Structures are given as C-alpha cells and as structure tokens.
C-alpha cells in the first residue's frame, strides 16, 4: 500500500467523528486549568507576596511551564503512542500534582520564608520556589494540545480542528474563571476548588482512555521522518509574528486590567470578569480563525491583516477606557444588588476587550495554517507555534507589569502595543512569503506598508493619558465630573503596583487617591482616625521603641507614631514605591515629614511577605492597608496573618488595625472583627464617629492583656517631651487620655452575640475579599456601627487610674452614645 493510499484511507477514516468529542474534552481541560491557576496564584501569593514582582514571577513560571510542555512533547513522546492515551496520562498527572500542591504547599511554605528576602537574591528564591510547585503541572498543561494534535493531519482541515481544540480549551477557561471567582472560592475555599478541578481532570482522563479503547491509532508511514519535514517557507517570520501577537495580547491585558479596575473597582469579582471577557474574545476568535484556516488561500496574509486589525482593536480599547467609560452617566451605587453591577461591568469589559482579543484568538489557527506543511508531526507544529506565542506572552506580561507602566505610563505603553502589532502586520504583508530566512521586503509592497504606517501613527496618536478624575475617583469619575473645576491635581502618577493622585479641594483639604478612591485626606474625620491609629499604637504600650507601620498612604498615621519620643525605630512597609517617595511628601505638614525622619526606614514590599521573611520584632504594629474589597488586601486580615504579626510582637507589645465601615457590608465588618478577636481574644474596638454617625473603627490588642493606666498616659502627655504628641491629639479633638479612651466601643465577651454568625477569614478562603467586594458601592457605615454598638458596655476592668480620671472617662464614654 502506498503512502497516498494510506493518507487517503486516513482522511476517509470514521475516526473523524471523534473530533467534536475532543473539543468537549478540551473544554473540561481548560476549565480545570483556570481553576488551578487562580487557586495556585492565591496560595502562592500568601507565601511569596502580592507585589508586582512576586506576581510577575508567578505568571512567568506558570506560562514558562506551558511553553516548555508545548515544545518538549514532540521531543519526549514518540509519534507511535496513541494520542488519546498520552492526553489521558497528562490530564491524570495534572490532577495528581493539583492535589500535591494543595496538600504540600502550606507545609513547605516555611522553607521559603526561612531563606526568602528582598533584592535580586530574594527574587531568585521566589522564582525557584514557584518553579518547584508550578513547573511540573504546567509543563503537562502545555503538552496537552500538542499531544492530542497528533490525531489530525497538517492539512487545512486538520489545522482547522487544531484551532477548534484551542478554542474549546479557551472557552473552558472562561467557565473555570467564572466558576472559581463567583462560586467555588466565594462560597467555599481552595480545597473545594482544587477537588472540583481534580474531578474534571479525572473525568477527562476516563473519557480519553475510553476513546483510546474505541479507536485504533496508526503512526504515519512516510518515506521520510516527520521530524525531517521542514515547515513552509517564511515560517520563521510567522513564528516571530505570533510571538509578537502573544506579547501585545498579554501586555494589553495588563494595561486593561489596571484601567478597568479603576473604572469598575478593583474587587476580586472585577478581576474575574476582566479575565473572563478577555478569554471569551480569545475563544470566539479562535473558532472563527479555525474556520478561516480551512478556506483561506493565503493564511500568511490573513494573519498579517489580523495583526493590522489588532492595531484598530487596541486603539478602540484605549478610547473606551480613557475617553468614554469613565464619563458614562452611570452611578454604581444605584444598583440595589451588586449582581446588577457585575452584569454591567462584564458588558463594558467585553465591549472593550472582545475586538482585539478575538483577533488574537484568530491569530493562532491562522499561524498554524501559515506554517503547516504536509507530512509534519502535528505535535511539533502545534508545539512550535504555541511556544512562540507563549514566549511572547511571557515577555509582554512581565515587561508591561514590571517596567513599562511604572516607567512610561499606560498611554505610552498602549502606543507601544499598537506599534508592535503594526510591526507584525508589516512583516507579513510587505515581505516575501517564499523566502526561507527571516524577512525580505518585496518591492511592490511599499504602498501597502506606507498605508499601514500612516494608519498606525494616527491611531497611536488618539490614545489619551489616563484621566485625573479616573485615577482619583475611579468608578465615580462621572459623578465628580461636574465639580472637576474645583479640583487642583497636585500629582498624578502610575506606579508598578497602582495608580495614585494627590488633589487639593480648597479650604485646606488635601486628598490622597489610590485604587480609584480617596484613601486618606486632611478632612477632620480622616485626620482623627489616622491620628487615633498612630497614637493608640504608641501610648498604650509601656514603651514603644520599635514600631512597624503597614501601609504608608499619606503618612499621617506613621507621622503620629514618629513624634512619640519613646519611638527609636520606625519601619514603614509599603508595596508601591511612589507612595512614600512622592505622595507622602505632599502631606508633610500633616505627617511631620515622617519619610525624612532619621528614625524612619521605608521597606518596599508586601507586608505579609515582609513579616514572613524578617526576624525583626516590634513593640507595636499598626496596620492601615488597602480597603479589604481590593483584590489581595484580604491576605492582611486572615487568622494566619494575625498569628504571624503576634509572633513579631515583643512582650507587652500592641497591635492596632483600621476597619472601615463604609464601602463594606455588615458581614464583611463582622468577619474582620471576629477574625482579629479569634487571635487576640482580649482585643477591643475604638470608634471614630463623624458628626455622631458611625464612620470607621480601630481594633487594638495587647500581646498580654494589661489594664491601661489613664494617669500614667495623662502624665506622659503633660511632659515637655510629649508636647508635640499632645498637640497632635488636640488638633483632632482629644485633650486628655480619658477623652481618647472614651472612644472605646466593644470587646469580648459582650460582642460575642453580634459575631455569632461571623465568617472567619483564613488563608484557605480569603473570605473577606468576597464579602467586602459585594459592598464596594454601599455606604451604610452608621447602620453597621449602630448594629455593633447595641452591645456597647462600659469597660470596668480595662482601665485603671485615679477616681477623677475614671470619672472623666465614664462621662466622656457616656457622651459618645
């Protein structure tokens, strides 16, 4: 029998009817893979940190593993192995490693924290630790598509089916993203999510083995080895362009995520919606591209025009994100339930991302068709294209998140993405497709090239900088647009981790904006809270020589700490470098120029990662991080974090933490308080009221419960050394120790009935970020405070002092009702 007869028999084989079933299996694979990705990132970020560098290391390791798997399969697995059995074994292996990561990571995490640290050496340790857990399963994930691709031939029809497999995998990823973000992790935890993904792996494994039993696979019988068959002429340039496509796709996703979280609010739900809309576009595009790959006469040119249309899609996204969406006349607090806002946000995310994402999705099957040649090993073909795309994606994501946004800003970064996409179009549309080297320009293509260049320059010019109102007020930018003339924007910056601004409102009011909202200000109620947080931290312990401040912000809390004469060493841990370097200096008159104080050390790191990797202990720790609804902030509110903080307190040490009652839910506040009191059962709550209304609170706990001596505190405040501290307190309405302590609001066991239904936030569930994310547009601070205050009782045993001091305390406390 000749090779042609065999090929003919194979093309007529009834085995083609199994191809749609393989698409369904790949939907399951993609769903499980995204669940794993979200779970692993959540688990590993608890150990290596949530900074841009740490997340970059995680992403690079994850995608690097997939790249290795895509290239390595054809080199390791012989072509005579049944593709379905290979695929089944890979899925089984992924499930096994999924369980191992879940079971082993919490126990091995201590190994990293014992040797991890700052600087390049610390980054290398993080990379090695991530590689230890992520590379084995991600290598197998990357090998699944090349493995199953050996069931088809490198004909137009076969290449089309490869695109459908890729699209099915991406549609599955959309399902996994939404399932994990809105159900498995919201209502359960990483264990349940992992077991769900393992169940999908097991189901796919069983079905793949069943199909292997039903079918007979015959390795290709050819006159020459499939490995020796060269790809089509000009394939190097196609691989380079699909790499550029991956770079622009992931680079744009990073930029879009930054801008969309400003537009929608940076909750964990928003991140799920953004990723789902992006993946949906990839899936739709790959399906369309798969159809085109079967019928287009010139796949190389089709891929080139696709890259040019990406230029248009990027410009469209930039227009929406900076010129349109921020000003849509919609206020998010109109929705009576957050689920309506989620629907609206998904619609806006899809409107922004779908055009370009669909084009990136279509690029993959078109690239396969452009480099395919008869007789190739399909596994090697898919592996090369997939690897080129993934390597580009890794570079695009890492350079954008770690370098470009922080140094150039989102406007210039988006213009660069447009230019890169245009470069890909030029390479394929003006060069010789029959040239076997990299590129050779065709003499008749200059007019086409000139048109592409002119269009690119015009579209890049239309990209606008991020609006000040969007940075300052995020999802409420349209609400504040009418009063924009009253804002004086002192500073607007885009850092590696976040975008921030400083504005003057008039009347001496200065605001610090981050995450699309006011994080701190010189408003009386905010100054009162920030000074309370700082002074309680240093006045309650007998001696607060060394203090750690989590989150710099405007620096007012750190400044209040720094002026205490007892403080000899102040460590400020801040995740975003621009905050202490630039923002805090604009609040110098309010924060006593704390950053320039000789006793101050600024550490740029995720606070949790810093505590896990430092041996330092403190007499006091105060925490005022991002709002708990901001994705990732909940890692600083778990029982495990409070236990770690407790371990870093010296005997007699004190810890304080800010809790906001606005932009939150009753369930979220209960979770914050209950979780803190589970670790510090003798903790207490102090209230900061705004014109008699509930606004926010401060939680305080001592490592060893000790009565607070009012007379000793008052005597200290009357000394000349503490004149600055006394003046700082007086500026916000506290003229004595009894007045400050009269803000006491709650403690155990009186508050236990209120906390009876509270959900404890732990590392495995990060429950707080899901609860708080549902209340990001709620302003029910007073109702939440009144609900808690019904259990408010006078704390007879907490304070000691003279009869006069205790009488003043009781009178002031009663006046707070």
pLDDT digits (tens, 9 = 90+) for 354-396: 999 999 999 999 999 999 877 778 888 899 999 999 999 999 9
- In a 3-state reduction of DSSP, which class is residue 521? strand
Q: What is the dihedral of CA 254, 256, 259, 264, to 10 degrees?
A: -110
Q: Which fold has domain 17-216?
A: Growth Hormone; Chain: A; (1.20.1250)
CB 150, CB 83: distance < 8 Å = yes
Chain-centre distance of CA 692, in angstroms? 37
Give residue 434's pLDDT: 59
Question: Phi-psi region for residue 409, left (φ > 0), alpha (ψ -120 to 50) or beta?
Answer: left
The first and second tokens of residue 586, run together, are 């604009």
Most confident option among 189-198, 294-303, 481-490: 189-198
The first and second tokens of residue 532, run together, are 């309370």
Burial of residue 5 (CB within 10 Å: 0-12, 13-18, 19+) is: exposed
Q: Please indicate whether residue 115 or residue 52 has the higher confidence score (pLDDT).
A: 52
Give residue 15's pLDDT: 58
Q: Is the peptide bond before 52 cis (omega within 30 degrees of 0)?
A: no
Q: Please indicate whether residue 737 or residue 222 has the higher confidence score (pLDDT).
A: 737
Checking if the pLDDT of 12 tops 50, the result is no
Contacts of residue 338, defined as CB under 8 A and 6 or more positions apart, other chains included, come to 269, 773, 774, 775, 776, 777
Distance CA 160, CA 732 (A): 69
How big, in percent rounded to 5, are the helix, strand and coil portions of the chain?
A: 65, 10, 25
In which residue are the tokens 């991020």 written? 466
CB 743, CB 688: distance < 8 Å = yes
- In a 3-state reduction of DSSP, which class is residue 277? helix
Give residue 633's pLDDT: 93
Look up the CATH number of domain 239-471. Answer: 1.20.1250
Residue among 568, 567, 501, 512 nearest 534 (CA): 567
User: What element of type H or E holds 813?
Assistant: helix 803-815
The first and second tokens of residue 342, run together, are 């989620």
Checking if the pLDDT of 520 tops 80, the result is yes
661-668 mean pLDDT: 97
503-513 mean pLDDT: 92
Distance CA 721, CA 698 (A): 26
Give residue 48's pLDDT: 80
Distance CA 433, CA 315 (A): 28
68-88 mean pLDDT: 90
Which of 15-19, 329-333, 615-619 shows the lowest per-residue confidence on average (mean pLDDT)? 15-19
DSSP structure class, residue 586: G
In which residue are the tokens 């630790």 written? 129
Signed CA dihedral, 113, 115, 117, 122: sign only: negative
Quick count: other Cβ atoms within 10 Å of Cβ 336? 7
Q: Which residues pair with 571 in a beta bridge?
A: 548, 601
- In a 3-state reduction of DSSP, which class is residue 550? strand
Give residue 569's pLDDT: 98
Quick count: other Cβ atoms within 10 Å of Cβ 121? 11
Size of the chain, expressed as the number of residues it contains: 817
The first and second tokens of residue 271, run together, are 């991140």
Distance CA 308, CA 388 (A): 19
Checking if the pLDDT of 223 tops 70, the result is no
Distance CA 105, CA 408 (A): 37
762-768 mean pLDDT: 96
- In a 3-state reduction of DSSP, which class is residue 206? helix
Distance CA 259, CA 391 (A): 25
Checking if the pLDDT of 644 tops 60, the result is yes
Give residue 581's pLDDT: 94
Residue 222 confidence class, pLDDT cut points 50, 70, 90: very low
Checking if the pLDDT of 243 tops 80, the result is yes
Give residue 707's pLDDT: 93
Distance CA 406, CA 393 (A): 19
Distance CA 319, CA 462 (A): 8
Give residue 435's pLDDT: 52
Checking if the pLDDT of 229 tops 60, the result is no
Give residue 816's pLDDT: 77
Distance CA 271, CA 590 (A): 35
The first and second tokens of residue 613, run together, are 């990797």
Residue among 559, 561, 532 nearest 546 (CA): 561
Checking if the pLDDT of 10 tops 50, the result is no
Distance CA 178, CA 172 (A): 10
Signed CA dihedral, 550, 553, 555, 560: sign only: negative
Between strands 509-514 and 569-574, the pairing is: unpaired
In which residue are the tokens 């497999």 written? 165
The first and second tokens of residue 667, run together, are 């369930």
Q: Please indicate whether residue 551 or residue 232 has the higher confidence score (pLDDT).
A: 551
pLDDT digits (tens, 9 = 90+) for 419-433: 999 999 999 998 766
Checking if the pLDDT of 467 tops 90, the result is yes
Distance CA 480, CA 303 (A): 44
Q: Please provide residue 502's backbone torsions phi and psi, each rounded to the nearest 5 degrees.
A: -130, 130
User: In CATH terms, are 239-471 and 518-815 the same topology?
Assistant: no
Signed CA dihedral, 540, 640, 671, 779: sign only: positive
Note the pTM of the prediction, 2 decimals.
Answer: 0.93
275-297 mean pLDDT: 94
Distance CA 104, CA 116 (A): 18
Distance CA 717, CA 546 (A): 19
User: What element of type H or E holds 474?
Assistant: none
CB 91, CB 144: distance < 8 Å = yes
Checking if the pLDDT of 448 tops 90, the result is no
Q: Which residues pair with 698 in a beta bridge?
A: 658, 686
The first and second tokens of residue 425, run together, are 């179009």
Checking if the pLDDT of 123 tops 70, the result is no
In which residue are the tokens 């290598």 written? 139
Residue 50 confidence class, pLDDT cut points 50, 70, 90: confident
In which residue are the tokens 């800003």 written? 409
249-271 mean pLDDT: 96
Chain-centre distance of CA 136, in angstroms? 23
Look up the CATH number of domain 518-815. Answer: 3.40.50.150
Concatenate the DSSP letters of all residues of 361-373 into one string.
Answer: HHHHHHHHHHH--
Give residue 247's pLDDT: 96
Q: Please provide residue 508's backbone torsions phi and psi, each rounded to the nearest 5 degrees.
A: 80, 10
Between strands 799-800 and 708-709, the pairing is: parallel
pLDDT digits (tens, 9 = 90+) for 549-584: 999 999 999 999 999 999 999 999 999 999 999 999
- Angle CA(14)–CA(15)–CA(18) in degrees, nearest 5? 120
Concatenate the DSSP letters of all residues of 565-576 into one string.
Answer: TT--EEEEEES-
Checking if the pLDDT of 228 tops 60, the result is no
DSSP structure class, residue 436: S
User: Long-range contact list for 497-501, CB < 8 A, 24+ apart?
Assistant: 497/51, 497/52, 497/575, 497/576, 498/576, 499/258, 499/262, 499/466, 499/471, 500/471, 500/576, 500/578, 500/579, 500/583, 501/468, 501/471, 501/472
Taking the domains of the chain in order of start, what are their residue ranges? Answer: 17-216, 239-471, 472-514, 518-815
Residue 231 confidence class, pLDDT cut points 50, 70, 90: low
440-465 mean pLDDT: 86
Residue among 522, 548, 553 nearest 537 (CA): 548
Contacts of residue 677, defined as CB under 8 A and 6 or more positions apart, other chains included, come to 683, 748, 751, 755
Give residue 11's pLDDT: 43
Checking if the pLDDT of 1 tops 80, the result is no
Residue 585 confidence class, pLDDT cut points 50, 70, 90: very high
466-479 mean pLDDT: 95
Distance CA 269, CA 181 (A): 6
CB 394, CB 60: distance < 8 Å = yes
Concatenate the DSSP letters of all residues of 590-604 into one string.
Answer: HHTTGGG-TTEEEEE
Question: What mean pLDDT is reported for the chain?
Answer: 91
Give residue 58's pLDDT: 82
CB 673, CB 751: distance < 8 Å = yes
Checking if the pLDDT of 6 tops 50, the result is no
State what percent of residues in the chain have pLDDT above 70: 93
In which residue are the tokens 């003798």 written? 682
Q: Which residues pair with 510 in a beta bridge?
A: 504
pLDDT digits (tens, 9 = 90+) for 128-186: 777 888 899 999 999 999 999 888 887 788 888 989 999 999 999 999 999 999 999 99
C-alpha distances (whole Å) from 436 to each of 299, 378, 426, 431 are 16, 20, 17, 11
């Amino acid at each position: 029998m000749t090779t042609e007869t065999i090929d003919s028999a194979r093309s007529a084989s009834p085995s083609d009817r199994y191809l749609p079933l393989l698409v369904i299996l790949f939907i399951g694979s993609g769903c499980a893979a995204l669940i794993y990705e979200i779970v692993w990132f959540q688990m590993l970020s608890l150990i290596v940190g949530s900074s841009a560098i740490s997340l970059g290391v995680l992403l690079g390791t994850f995608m690097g593993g997939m790249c290795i798997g895509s290239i390595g399969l054809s080199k390791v697995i012989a072509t005579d192995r049944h593709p379905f059995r290979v695929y089944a074994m890979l899925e089984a292996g992924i499930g096994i490693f999924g369980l191992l990561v879940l079971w082993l990571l919490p126990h091995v995490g201590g190994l990293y924290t014992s040797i991890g640290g700052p600087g390049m050496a610390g980054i290398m340790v993080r990379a090695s630790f991530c590689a230890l857990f992520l590379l084995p399963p991600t290598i197998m994930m990357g090998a699944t598509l090349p493995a199953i691709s050996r069931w088809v031939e490198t004909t137009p029809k076969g290449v089309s089916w490869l695109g459908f497999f890729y699209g099915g995998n991406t549609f599955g990823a959309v399902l996994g993203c939404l399932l994990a973000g809105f159900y498995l992790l919201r209502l359960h935890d990483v264990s349940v999510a992992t077991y769900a993904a393992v169940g999908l792996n097991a189901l796919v494994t069983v079905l793949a083995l069943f199909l292997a039993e039903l079918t007979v696979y015959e390795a290709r019988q050819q006159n020459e080895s499939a490995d020796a068959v060269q790809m089509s002429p000009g394939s190097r340039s196609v691989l380079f362009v699909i790499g550029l496509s991956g770079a622009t796709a992931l680079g744009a996703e990073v930029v879009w995520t930054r801008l969309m979280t400003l537009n929608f609010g940076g909750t964990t739900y928003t991140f799920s919606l953004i990723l789902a809309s992006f993946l949906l576009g990839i899936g739709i595009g790959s399906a369309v591209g798969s159809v085109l790959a079967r019928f287009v006469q010139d796949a190389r040119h089709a891929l080139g025009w696709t890259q040019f249309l990406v230029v248009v899609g990027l410009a469209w996204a930039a227009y929406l994100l900076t010129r349109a969406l921020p000003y849509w006349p919609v206020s998010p607090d109109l929705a009576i339930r957050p689920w309506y806002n989620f629907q609206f946000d998904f619609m806006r995310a899809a409107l922004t991302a779908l055009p370009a994402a669909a084009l990136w999705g279509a690029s993959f099957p078109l690239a396969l068709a452009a480099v395919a040649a008869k007789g190739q090993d399909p596994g090697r073909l898919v592996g090369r294209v997939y690897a080129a795309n993934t390597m580009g994606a890794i570079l695009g994501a890492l350079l954008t998140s770690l370098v470009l946004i922080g140094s150039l800003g989102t406007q210039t970064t988006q213009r660069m993405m447009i230019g890169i996409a245009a470069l890909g179009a030029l390479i394929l549309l003006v060069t010789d497709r029959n040239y076997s080297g990299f590129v050779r320009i065709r003499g008749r293509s200059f007019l086409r090239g000139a048109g592409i260049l002119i269009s690119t320059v015009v579209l890049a010019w239309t990209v606008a900088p991020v609006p000040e109102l969007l940075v300052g007020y995020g999802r409420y930018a349209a609400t504040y647009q009418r009063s924009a003339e009253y804002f004086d924007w002192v500073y607007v910056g885009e850092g590696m981790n976040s975008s921030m601004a400083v504005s003057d409102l008039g009347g001496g009011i200065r605001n610090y904006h981050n995450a699309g909202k006011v994080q701190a200000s010189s408003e009386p109620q905010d100054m009162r809270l920030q000074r309370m947080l700082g002074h309680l931290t240093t006045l309650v312990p007998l001696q607060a020589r060394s203090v750690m401040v989590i989150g710099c912000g405007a620096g007012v809390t750190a400044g209040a700490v720094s002026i205490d004469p007892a403080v000899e060493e102040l460590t400020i841990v801040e995740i975003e470098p621009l905050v202490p370097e630039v923002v805090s200096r604009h609040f110098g008159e309010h924060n006593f120029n704390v950053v320039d104080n000789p006793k101050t050390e600024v550490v740029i790191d995720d606070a949790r990662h810093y505590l896990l990797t430092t041996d330092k202990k403190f007499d006091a720790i105060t925490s005022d991080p991002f709002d708990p609804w901001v994705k990732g902030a909940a890692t600083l509110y778990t029982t495990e974090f409070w236990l770690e903080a407790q371990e870093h307190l010296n005997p007699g040490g004190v810890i304080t933490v800010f809790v906001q009652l606005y932009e939150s839910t009753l369930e979220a506040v209960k979770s914050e308080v209950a979780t803190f009191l589970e670790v510090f059962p003798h903790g207490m709550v102090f209230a900061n009221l705004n014109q008699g209304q509930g606004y926010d609170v401060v939680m305080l706990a001592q490592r060893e419960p000790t009565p607070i001596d009012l007379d000793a505190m008052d005597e200290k405040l009357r000394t000349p050394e503490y004149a600055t501290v006394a003046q700082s307190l007086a500026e916000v309405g506290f003229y004595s120790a009894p007045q400050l302590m009269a803000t006491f609001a709650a403690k155990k066991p009186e508050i236990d009935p209120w906390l009876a239904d509270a959900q404890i936030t732990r590392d495995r569930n990060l429950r707080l970020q899901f609860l708080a994310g549902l209340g990001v547009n709620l302003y029910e601070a007073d109702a939440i405070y009144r609900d808690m205050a019904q259990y408010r009782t006078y704390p007879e045993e907490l304070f000691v002092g003279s009869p006069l001091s205790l009488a003043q305390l009781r009178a002031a406390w009663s006046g707070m009702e």
